[in-house]
Structure 1
Amino acid sequence: MRAVWLAWLVLGVSVSQAWSWGQEGHAIVAEIAQRRLDPATLGKIEGLLAQEAPGLDHPNVTLASIASWADDYRADHKDTAGWHFVDMPDDRSTYDPDADCKNGNCVVEAIARFRAVLGDCSKPASERLQALKFIVHFVGDIHQPLHASDRSDAYTGKDDQGGNLVPVTFFGQTTNLHTLWDTGLIMRTVYNWGAYVVRLETVWFPGRDLTGLKGGSPAEWAVDAHRLGHEIAYDIPDDGVLGVKYFSKASPIVDRQLALAGIRLAQLLRDTLATAACQ
């Protein structure tokens, strides 16, 4: 854990900034993925990561250490903000690229674009590294239910920005629904992302049939996350006061989405780099 923390500092990643899943959630997804990479794929990724901190041993620069880079990048590049989510209306259960991803400005199409760059050996290594950073982050984002869900106010017609404009109180703490799903539910479960990974590896994964869950397309992942947003995340009382009852139904969904994001990220990286002869 200390090595990853030091790597964050070396890479200049803000340790206080918490967007999308938050640094904890994105680190969990990345670590789960890295543990499932075959030696050939891992070697290619470590070759790219070595550009980040020359002189450091490759194991010190991990997928977890770059998992939140895209959020820091967004702070100074506002045009990338739309790449982190896809606004699928709450009353629709399918993905419509023309309506939900105009001009390719959503997480579904962003993953496809950067996957093409990562697998293209003719691209500069620096460009492929940046693509890797975006992919690691965006695969996490697309599994957060409120990054694929959006509701409109019945009276004003204005959307709630994926729950960002929905105030809630969670165990006495005032926050908003989106932030609760980004970080609050994770931190309420285990206040340490490394321990959360261990928990998933020892409790969630063993004996679970993952057949058919590793693959799929980003559009399919978004539709699944959207369904969970509709059925679970937005299922809150009118007063917005949440506690044990909400946590007990939401926490297993967070576990599922983080775990699936991790194994799907690993599969996507394997498939993308399998035919790439470059390092």
Structure 2
Amino acid sequence: MKARLFLAAAAGAVAFFPSPALAWGKTGHRVVAAIADTQLSGLARAYIREILGGAESLDEAANWPDEMRSNPEPFWQKTSTPWHYVTLNGIIYDHAPPQGDALEALNHYTATLRDPNASLSDKQTALRFIVHLVGDLHQPLHVGKCCDKGGNDVKVKWFGKDTNLHAVWDSQIVDEEQLSFTELAAKLGRHTSDADVIAWWDVNPRDWISESGEIRDGLYPPAPPKGAKGTKGAPAVPELSYGYVYKFTPVMERRLQQAGVRLAAYLNEIYAKPLATEPPR
């Protein structure tokens, strides 16, 4: 019943982000899951294997909520769209809008994993969403502000090609180094100290949201001078290239590291002790 009410409340709402807003892209989400996988407790790993089965890894599950947005069903085309981000002015999260948001979805799916009456299919959906949403909340432009749709409306050039600031942070800055997700996850794992893990081990999503909100505004490039013209006389837009990469790659990598650590912490917290019943079969 709670699930149906949650879906009904979200259905029919207008999202503030356009549907292509996919946090981190495929590489980033897989990196987050791969980092988390190295820090799972034995109990959490056992429950995850029971839910996903032996053929699906955590990093494979990470992009499923984005991949399913190609499904023409109304749930994927309309209802679930606002569940990939939150919107706030400043850095303190207040409450979800009527259509729901990423934090409300995270809470909903966490309850599903803990529900002894939930079906295996529901738990699979819940786990895949949780893996994805923890990554989303660490992408600073998925903690959007009014009213540029998380940077989707901020037009920029990335090494001379037209794009927008949101797309830069979803994929382009992550993929600039041209590492596979396993290579990038291994690199970031080597550069995550025990002290980092201790400092970042935080299961409160509101803290992650506030961190992203603090980072977000600093990612916006200066606007060109008023009246400046770009290619073919069009209004000039910020040109992002090596200088932006140099300045913000450490920020991007730190958020991926933190998301991986927090995902492990969050899943370990859910499975801190055996649940009331055996895992679903």
Deviations, residues 153-198 of structure 1 (Å, cap 9, x unaligned):
xxxxxx2110111111122222110010000001102331111011
Match of 2:266 in 1: 268
Match of 2:11 in 1: none
Match of 1:30 in 2: 33
RMSD, aligned α-carbons: 1.8
More relative contact order, 1 or 2 (CA 8 Å, 6+ apart): 2
The 5-angstrom pairing of residues 37-52 of structure 1 reads: 37-50=40-53
1:102 equivalent to 2:97? Answer: yes
Give yes or no for contact 2:32–2:257 (8 Å, CA) kept in 1: yes
Match of 1:229 in 2: 216
Give yes or no for contact 2:201–2:261 (8 Å, CA) kept in 1: yes
Match of 1:13 in 2: none
Structure 1 residue 149 displacement after superposition: 2.1
SS at match of 2:196: coil
Change (3 A) 1:175 1:272: same
SS at match of 2:157: strand
SS at match of 2:258: helix
1:250 equivalent to 2:234? Answer: no
Give yes or no for contact 2:221–2:238 (8 Å, CA) kept in 1: no
The 5-angstrom pairing of residues 195-210 of structure 1 reads: 195-202=183-190, 204-206=191-193, 208-210=195-197
SS at match of 1:174: strand
Amino acid corresponding to residue 206 of structure 2 in structure 1:
A
Give yes or no for contact 1:189–1:251 (8 Å, CA) kept in 2: no
- Structure 1 residues 133-142 or 72-81, which shifts more? 72-81
Q: Which residue, 99, 107, 119 being the options, matches 2:114?
A: 119
Q: What TM-score do the two structures reach when normalised by structure 2?
A: 0.81
Q: Which residue, 122, 129, 132 being the options, matches 2:124?
A: 129
Unaligned runs of 5+ in 1: 1-16, 51-57, 152-158
Deviations, residues 196-215 of structure 1 (Å, cap 9, x unaligned):
0111012x213643333111
Match of 1:5 in 2: none
SS at match of 2:98: helix
Q: What TM-score do the two structures reach when normalised by structure 1?
A: 0.81
1:189 equivalent to 2:177? Answer: yes
Amino acid corresponding to residue 153 of structure 2 in structure 1:
L
1:147 equivalent to 2:142? Answer: yes
Deviations, residues 18-40 of structure 1 (Å, cap 9, x unaligned):
92211111000011111111222
Structure 1 residue 261 displacement after superposition: 0.6
Deviations, residues 51-98 of structure 1 (Å, cap 9, x unaligned):
xxxxxxx2x410111111111223331210000000113xx221111x
Give yes or no for contact 1:21–1:144 (8 Å, CA) kept in 2: yes
1:176 equivalent to 2:174? Answer: no
Report the number of matched residues: 241
- For residues 250 and 160 of structure 2, the distance between their equivalents in structure 1, rounded to whole angstroms, comes to 21
Q: Which residue, 47, 58, 63 being the options, matches 1:63?
A: 58
